[in-house]
Structure 1
Amino acid sequence: MTEAQEWLDQNYPKEKRNDIISLECKDNTLKLIGELLLDNFCGLVELDLSLHDITKLDVSDCYELERIIFANNILTSLPGDFIYPEKLTYLNIMNNNIDKIDLNYFCKFINLKTLFIGTNDKYKMDHCFYNRFYGHLRSLKDLTQLEALDISNTDISKGLSYLPDSLKDFRFRVYRPEAKVAKIKEKLEPFGEDFKKYKKTKSRKLSYKRFVKNNEVEEVQEQSAEIKNLLIVGRTGNGKSALANVLSDTSRFKESEKSISETRKFLDEIFTHNGTTYRVVDTIGMGDNRLSKNDVLIEITEAVYAIKEGINQILFVVGRRFTKEEIDAFELIKGAIFESNIIKHTTIIRTNFPNFKNSAKCKEDRQDLFEGNEFLAEMLNSCNGIIHVDNPSVEVECERRLAFNREDRENSRKKILDHLENFKENYKPDLMPWDQLYLKVRNYMKIKHNLQRSDISSDEANTLKAQMEKLEEKVVRETDLHYAVPPFAKLLISYNTCQIL
Structure 2
Amino acid sequence: MSRNKGQKDQQWFDEKYSKEKSIAITGGRRLNFIGCLKIEGFKNLESINLKKLKLTSLEISNCTQLNKVDLSEHSKLTSLSVTGCPKLTTLNCSSNGLTSLEISGCYQLKNTDLSKFTKLKSLYLRGYQNLITLDCSSTEKLISLRISGCPQLKNITNLSKSSKLDSLSVIDCPELDKLDYSTNALTSLEISGCNQLNEIANLSKAPKLTSLSIIYCPKITELDCSSNEKLTELEVSDLTTLNCSNTSIKILSVNLCPNIETLDCSHNDKLINLDINNCSKLKVLNCFNSKLTSLDISNFSLLLEELKECEQNDIKSKIFKYPPGLNIIKEKITKNLIIVGRTGGGKSTLSNVLTGSEDFEESGRSISVTKNFQKKEFEWNGKRFSVVDTIGVGDTRLSTKKVLYKILDGIFSIPEGISQILFVIDGRFTAEEANIFKLLKGSIFDIFEIGILDYVTIVRTKFSNFKNKKECEADKKQLHNENENIANIVRSCRNVIYVDNPPTNIQIIDEEDEETVITNKKIRDRSRKIMLDYLDEACMVNYFKLKTWDQIRKPIAEYLESNCEDVPPELEKNQEVQTLIKITESFCSII
Name the TM-score, length of structure 1 as normaliser.
0.48
Which of 1 and 2 has higher RCO (CA within 8 Å, sep 6+)? 1
Higher helix share: 1
Larger Rg: 1
Name the TM-score, length of structure 2 as normaliser.
0.41
Higher strand share: 2
